[in-house]
Amino acid sequence: MDHGKKAVIKATEHRPFQLPRTPRNYDWRPGEEVVYVQPTAAGWMLTSIVGTLIGFVFNNGKKRAVVIWHSETSISPTIGLQRLRPASLFHGLN
């Protein structure tokens, strides 16, 4: 048994699309349009769920956003910021 000594390392595949990150220290403003994103095997991906940021709450020391969704959805109105992106980052959404 060689325990992988003869293993061939293949190059990682290129992902043609990468969702832009929210800029560091981004100034979230109430009334701002936001887009819900979800994790997939290919990384974070946009959804068609758009909402308006109302404000923030602190739960167990974590800052969470309060959002009014524009479409009927089962997603909670109180959500972590990592699941949101400002609509202004994407062309044609705002």
Q: Decide if 7 is inside a domain.
A: no
Q: pLDDT: is 4 or 27 the higher one?
A: 27
Q: Decide if 39 is inside a domain.
A: yes
Q: In the predicted model, is pLDDT for residue 94 greater than 60?
A: no
Q: Decide if 10 is inside a domain.
A: no
pLDDT of residue 23: 85
pLDDT of residue 89: 85
Q: Decide if 18 is inside a domain.
A: no
- Mind listing the pLDDT tens digit for each residue in 41-79? 777 888 889 999 999 999 888 999 999 999 888 999 999
Q: Decide if 53 is inside a domain.
A: yes
Q: Decide if 82 is inside a domain.
A: yes
What's the domain count of the chain?
Answer: 1
Rounded to two decimals, the pTM is 0.72
CA 81 to chain centre: 8
Rounded distance between C-alpha atoms, residue 11 and residue 71, angstroms? 41
Rounded distance between C-alpha atoms, residue 77 and residue 73, angstroms? 10
- Pick from 37, 56, 45, 52: nearest CA to 94: 52
